[in-house]
């Protein structure tokens, strides 16, 4: 009886070393070697103004491709994107998609780039996500990646806030939109005002008018 194909050990396509559960065709050493060679070739061609794929002169359509290779590259990416979306795989690294079209790691990298300007902080904001137990810092609602989760600045950047981890928190998209560019204190005050008016409209308006009058000096 022939062994099942699933039981045949997988080996690196270059050095024939055992791959184990690695999903790549090459081992890590060979991948690093090949990537280094390819990057070196791309760099030298770019310095000479040549297409990194075919070595022909670049015609201005792309900084790294000639027009023909650019069209081929775009079509290849479009086809790969469609295949992965239909298979519910991450469009970046082909892992199972759990946040729209991204795996969880790529989703954190995308949020880090969009909100903080760099993918380098994705591990830090993922750790923050876990510390918050995947719940909104304001409402306690469960957060779902790619659906209702949003990274918020406690003090908005437009108000002098930083991208430090201490100034970040995970909230729902709805809460983040309502907060807009308010500080936490301003946002809480506005929420309390909405609740107070909803519970007792006449009393709230009366108290508000009196407060304005006192502030303007009309009432002692």
- Do 145 and 197 fall into the same domain? no
User: Is 14 domain-assigned?
Assistant: no
How many CB atoms are located within 10 Å of the residue 172 CB?
A: 23
- Do 128 and 171 fall into the same domain? yes
- Do 124 and 170 fall into the same domain? yes
- Do 54 and 120 fall into the same domain? no
User: In this model, does residue 101 exceed pLDDT 80?
Assistant: yes
Contact of 108 with 122, CB cutoff 8 Å? yes
H or E segment and range at residue 149: strand 149-153
- Do 167 and 207 fall into the same domain? no
On whether the pTM is more than 0.75, the answer is no
User: Is 176 domain-assigned?
Assistant: yes
User: Is 58 domain-assigned?
Assistant: yes
- Do 113 and 171 fall into the same domain? yes
C-alpha distances (whole Å) from 16 to each of 25, 38, 101 are 10, 21, 34
End-to-end Cα separation, the chain, in angstroms = 100
Mapping DSSP onto H, E and C, the string for 39-74 reads: HHHHHHHHHCCECCCCCCECCCCCCCCCHHHHHHHH
- Do 142 and 201 fall into the same domain? no
- Do 164 and 196 fall into the same domain? no
Q: State pLDDT tens for residues 135-185.
A: 999 999 999 999 999 999 999 999 999 999 999 999 999 999 999 999 999
pLDDT band for 218, please (50, 70, 90 cuts): low
**Short-list 198, 197, 178, CA closest to 187:** 178
Q: State pLDDT tens for residues 20-44.
A: 776 778 888 888 888 888 888 888 8
User: Is 123 domain-assigned?
Assistant: yes
Domain extent for 74: 49-87
C-alpha distances (whole Å) from 13 to each of 23, 24, 27, 121 are 12, 10, 8, 34
CB within 8 Å of 49: residues ≥ 6 apart:
57, 58
- Do 73 and 117 fall into the same domain? no
As given in the structure block, the two tokens for residue 219 are 């009432």
- Do 136 and 161 fall into the same domain? yes
User: Is 36 domain-assigned?
Assistant: no
Domain count, the chain: 3
As given in the structure block, the two tokens for residue 161 are 């806030």
User: Is 130 domain-assigned?
Assistant: yes
What CATH number corresponds to the domain at position 173? Answer: 1.10.30
Give the model's pLDDT for residue 7.
56
How wide is the angle at C-alpha 155 spanned by C-alphas 199 and 126, nearest 5°? 100
Higher-pLDDT residue of 168 and 15 is 168
- Do 116 and 176 fall into the same domain? yes
H or E segment and range at residue 134: none
Q: What are phi and psi of 180, to 5 degrees?
A: 50, -125
- In angstroms, the CA 94 to CA 203 distance is 59
């Amino acid at each position: 009886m022939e062994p099942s194909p699933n039981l045949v050990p997988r080996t690196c396509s270059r050095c024939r070393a055992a791959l184990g559960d690695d999903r790549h065709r090459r081992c890590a050493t060979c991948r690093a070697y090949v990537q280094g060679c390819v990057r070196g070739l791309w760099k030298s061609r770019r310095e000479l103004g040549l297409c990194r794929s075919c070595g022909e002169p670049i015609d201005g359509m792309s900084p790294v491709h000639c027009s023909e290779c650019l069209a081929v590259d775009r079509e290849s990416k479009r086809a790969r994107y469609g295949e992965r979306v239909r298979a519910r795989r991450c469009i970046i690294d082909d892992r199972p998609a759990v946040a729209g079209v991204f795996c969880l790691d790529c989703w954190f990298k995308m949020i880090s780039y969009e909100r903080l300007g760099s993918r380098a902080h994705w591990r830090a904001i993922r750790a923050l996500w876990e510390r918050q137990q995947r719940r909104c810092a304001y409402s306690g609602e469960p957060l779902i990646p790619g659906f209702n989760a949003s990274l918020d600045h406690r003090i908005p950047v437009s108000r002098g806030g930083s991208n430090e981890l201490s100034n970040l928190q995970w909230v729902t998209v709805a809460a983040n939109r309502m907060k807009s560019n308010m500080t936490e204190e301003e946002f809480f005050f506005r929420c309390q005002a909405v609740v107070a008016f909803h519970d007792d409209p006449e009393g709230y308006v009366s108290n508000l008018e009196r407060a304005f009058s006192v502030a303007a000096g009309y009432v002692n």
